[in-house]
């Protein structure tokens, strides 16, 4: 088995990765199948062990309906950005205008800009400031924790 990210990698290093994944039954109507999971190196535990944050809401369905089972975030941008998935059109967009906003305001802005069928997840000010236990929050107010926001 190939180790993609060695455990000694610092969680905030550009070599670190965050994996956002949904289950095989997501969007099928099976009870409890609408959750998304984000796995990453822990920013708060000793030795940067692998942890994950789970979230509900509609984001898992949106990812699955767009045709994806997982998204891997890697690298580092020089400015705030967000990943926009519109079925097979995937782009990295400027998010400078969202910097400094809370999660509810940032998510509302993204939906206003992209349409009511768009769903969003944002990191907010805690994530921007690399708070070790920061969360991501969906447009419906569901959160994935464990430090994934940073």
Query: Using CA of residue 59, residue 65, residue 51, residue 121, what is the dihedral sign?
Result: negative
What own/partner pairs with CB < 8 Å and gap ≥ 24 does 27-32 have?
27/60, 27/61, 27/64, 27/65
pLDDT tens, position by position, 72-103: 999 999 999 999 999 999 999 999 999 999 99
Task: Provide the pLDDT for residue 2.
Answer: 55
Give the model's pLDDT for residue 3: 60
What confidence tens digit (pLDDT) does each residue in 2-33 have?
Answer: 568 887 888 889 999 999 999 999 988 898 88
Question: Taking all residues of the chain, what is their mean pLDDT, rounded to a whole number?
Answer: 89
Assign 3-class secondary structure to 112-127. HHHCCCCCCEECHHHH
Cβ neighbours of 124 (radius 10 Å): 22
Dihedral of alpha carbons 20, 63, 54, 120, sign: positive
Mean pLDDT of 29-56: 86
What is the C-alpha separation between 91 and 56, in angstroms, rounded? 24
3-state secondary structure of 2: coil
Judge whether residue 145 has pLDDT over 90: no
Q: How far apart are alpha carbons 23 and 143 in whole angstroms? A: 18
Q: What is the pTM of this model?
A: 0.87
Residue 139 has pLDDT above 90, yes or no: no
């Amino acid at each position: 088995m190939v180790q993609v990210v060695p455990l000694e990698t610092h969680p905030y290093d550009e070599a670190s990765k965050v994996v956002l994944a949904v289950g095989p039954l997501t969007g099928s109507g099976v009870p409890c199948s609408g959750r998304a999971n984000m796995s990453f190196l822990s920013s708060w535990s000793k030795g940067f062990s692998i942890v994950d944050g789970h979230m509900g809401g509609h984001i898992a369905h949106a990812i699955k309906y767009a045709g994806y089972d997982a998204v891997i975030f890697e690298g580092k941008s020089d400015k705030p950005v967000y990943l926009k998935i519109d079925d097979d059109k995937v782009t990295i967009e400027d998010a400078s205008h969202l910097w400094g906003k809370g999660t509810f305001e940032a998510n509302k802005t993204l939906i206003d800009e992209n349409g009511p069928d768009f769903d969003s997840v944002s990191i907010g000010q805690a994530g921007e400031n690399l708070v070790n236990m920061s969360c991501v929050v969906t447009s419906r107010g569901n959160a994935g924790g464990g430090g994934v926001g940073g």
